[in-house]
Structure 1
Amino acid sequence: MIKFFRKIRQQLLSKNQVSKYLVYAFGEIILVVIGILIALGINNLNQQRINKNTEQIYLQGLEEEFQTSKLKLEELIQVNQGNIDGAKSILTYIADPNNSPGEKEFSELLYQSFSSDIAFNPNNSLLNEMINSGNLKILSNSELRRLLTNWISTLEDIKRQENELDIQREHVLNEFRTEGNSLQTVLKQVGVYQQLDIPIGQKEQSNLKLLSSSAFENNILMFILASYATGEAHYQPLMREMEQILSLIQKEID
C-alpha cells in the first residue's frame, strides 16, 4: 500500500500537481500512523494477556502459601492457648496450698506449659520474590497489593512479641538452672528420659517447693500475660488479616 502511494506521488511530482501530491503525501503519513497505532494496540493486548496470565500464576501461588501459613498459625494459636491453660493450672495450686499436685502431675504441667517455644514461620518465599523483583505491581487489586506490602512489617511486629514471650518463658526455665530444683525430675516424670534413652539416676529431687516461691509465681504470671498478649493482640488480628488476604486472592483467581 505504501509503495502504491509512493508511485502515485512520484507521478504527481513529475506532472507538477503539487496540491494532489500533498494530499497523497498526507495520506501516506496517516497510513503509517494508523499502522503504528494498530501495532502498538496489538502489542498492548499481548502484554495485557501476558500480565494477566502471570498474575493468575502469582495469585495461585500466593493462595497456596497463605493457606499453608494459616494452618501453621491455627496450630500455633492452639499451642499458645495450651501453654496458658497449663500455666493457669499451676497458679491454682499456688493459690491453694492445701490442694497440692503430685510430682508427676506437676511435672506434666511444667512440661506442657514451657517445653514449646512459640514462633510463627509463614511461607513467604513467593511473596518475597514478588516484592524484591517489583512484580507485586502485576496484581491488579490495589487493596490486595496494600495488604501484601504491609504483611512483612506485620510479621516483624509479631516477631518482637514472640521474642518478649520467649524471654518470659526463659525466666521460668531458669528456675531449673539453680541448685534447689531439678529438671531431671520433670523429664523423668514425663517420659523424656526413656524416649532419649538417658541413664536415670536413683535420686529424684522434688520440685513441689516451687509452688510456695513468690519469684516462681511472678514468673508464671508474667509468662501468662505475655502469652495472652501474643494470642489476643497479635495472633488473632494476624489471622483476620490473613483471611482477608485469602478472600481477596480467591476473588481475583479466574
Structure 2
Amino acid sequence: MIPLLELRDVTVRFGAHAAVREASLALQPGAALGLVGESGSGKSTLLRVLLRLQDVAAGQVLMDGAEITTARNAALRALRRDVQVVFQNPHSALNPRLSVHDAVAEPLLIQGGLSRTKLRARIDGLLDDVGLGPEFLWRYPHELSGGQKQRVCIARALAPGPRALLLDEPTSALDVSVQAQIIDLLRRLRARHQLAFLFISHNLAVVQLLCEEIAVLRQGEVVERGPVAAVLHAPAHDYTRALLASVLPPGINRLAAP
C-alpha cells in the first residue's frame, strides 16, 4: 500500500544544529501512528515538515507516493485539504474575535462552492460530530471551557474533509477528566471518517489507546518503530526503555496490555 504521507531520510537544520537527522516515517491511509520522545526530540519539527511549514535540508516528503518536498500552488492546496492539524493548546489556537460559527466556517469559505444554506448545514453537522449543540454556534472562545475549545478546533480541522489529522499533544493542556472525553471523541471520529492519525504525545498510555504503530524519536533520529504492543511491551532500544521507566511507577516494567 502506498503511504498517505511519508518522510524519507529527512534532515532539518537550524543553523549548524540538526533538529532532525535522516528520519523516515510512513503513515498509511486509515492508520494511526504515535510519535513519542522527550521535549526537544524533534516531534513538532517533523509535524511542520509534513505540513510543509518547514523546509528540509535533505530528504523527501511524499503524499500518495508523489514528492511534495518543495510543493507549491495546487499541490500545496491539495495537502492543506487532505491533511489537517489539531494543536496542543486550544486556548491559543482559536481567534478570540471569531465566533464558533465563523471559526468552523473559515476553511469551508476558503474551499468555496457552498451556498449559505449548505454552509450552515455543514457547520451544524460538524459541531454535532464533535458533541457540541446549536447553542454553541454564536459563542466566542472566552465563553467556552478548554474541552469545548478543543472540540471546536477538531470540528474546524474536519471541515475540509481531510484524510489525515496530525495531532500535536491535543489533550495535554486539558484537565484529566476532559482528556478522557477528547480521546474517546478522537477514537469515534477516526472510525466514522476513516481518518489516518499522526499522534504526537509524551503520554505513552494515550498512544497505546489511539495508535497501532509507534515511532520513538531521540535527538532528531527515529531509534525504534513498530507495532505499539511490541515496542511498549518489549522495547529493543535503551532510549525506549528509559522513556517507559520515566513514566511508570517503580517495580512496573510495562504498560497495561491493550
Task: Please state which band the TM-score falls in when normalised by the shorter chain.
Answer: under 0.3
The structure with more strand, counted as a fraction of residues: 2
State TM-score, norm by structure 2.
0.22
The structure with more helix, counted as a fraction of residues: 1
| Larger Rg over CA atoms | 1
